[in-house]
Amino acid sequence: MNFSVLFRKEVKESLKTYRLLIVVALLVVFGLTTPLILKFLPKILEMSGEAIPFQLPVFTASDAIKSYLGNLGQIGLLIAVLVSMGAISQERERRTAVMTLSKPAGFGAFVTAKLAVLALTFAIGLILGAAGCYLYSVVLLGPFAAGSFVLINLLAFTYLLVCISLTLMFSALFRNQLAAGGLALNQESPGPGIP
């Protein structure tokens, strides 16, 4: 078995378990709701009937992009860890990895195929979610430089790829997927005093 066979196997598994659909849907919903929340927050607070002791600023597309990026760093990290923490450890636990690796397939191709499918999944989700966020931000809140937004999302994808890689490493080291996820979150979250 070479990389392409393992890659196709992982794509089929990702579609069969709805992992691809879930990740893409979460990132799209997340991307679409960020500008909507900022646009309608003053109206929502006004409709609540509570007196607000301060004046809300007028939100711009730049504010929506900053909020999107900040939330992506937190929610995207959580999605990346939850999706990839059992990628290898679950197969080791169920002994299905033994069947795959007993064929002429190397462990490197096995792990790389999993990483490639997870990267593809997050790339699709991030592209669609970012496109929705950008379009809603521009339509609802005003213009924003498209080149800067593309660069921001490339950096966000790189960050998520590092998170996925680290989680896959821990998933390969431990049979328990909770241990893999916990260690990955511990390594990826900033320590005390780090903003």
% residues pLDDT > 70 (the chain): 84
> What band does 21 get if pLDDT is binned at 50, 70 and 90?
very high
From 133, 142, 135, select the one nearest 60 (Cα to Cα). Answer: 142
pLDDT digits (tens, 9 = 90+) for 97-137: 555 555 666 667 778 888 999 999 999 999 999 999 999 98
From 132, 133, 158, 134, select the one nearest 73 (Cα to Cα). Answer: 158
Is residue 190's pLDDT more than 60? Answer: no
Rg (CA), the chain: 20
pLDDT digits (tens, 9 = 90+) for 71-92: 888 888 889 888 888 777 667 6
Burial state string for 141-157 with b = 16 or more CB within 10 A and e = fewer than 16: beebeeeebeebbeebb
Beta-carbon contacts of residue 175 (< 8 Å; ≥ 6 apart)? 89, 92, 93
Beta-carbon contacts of residue 174 (< 8 Å; ≥ 6 apart)? 89, 180, 183
Angle between helices 107-141 and 19-47 (to 10 degrees): 30
Is residue 194's pLDDT more than 50? Answer: no
Q: From CA 151, how far away is CA 23, in angstroms rounded?
A: 21
Beta-carbon contacts of residue 122 (< 8 Å; ≥ 6 apart)? 23, 27, 76, 80, 157, 160, 161, 164
What is the structure's pLDDT at 195?
Answer: 42
What's the pTM value of the predicted model, to 2 decimals?
0.82
Question: Which class for 66: exposed (0-12), middle (13-18), buried (19 or more C-beta within 10 A)?
Answer: middle
| Higher per-residue confidence, 150 vs 187 | 150
From 77, 75, 69, 70, select the one nearest 150 (Cα to Cα). Answer: 69
Of 38-42, 71-75, 123-127, 164-168, which one has max mean pLDDT? 123-127
Is residue 14's pLDDT more than 90? Answer: no
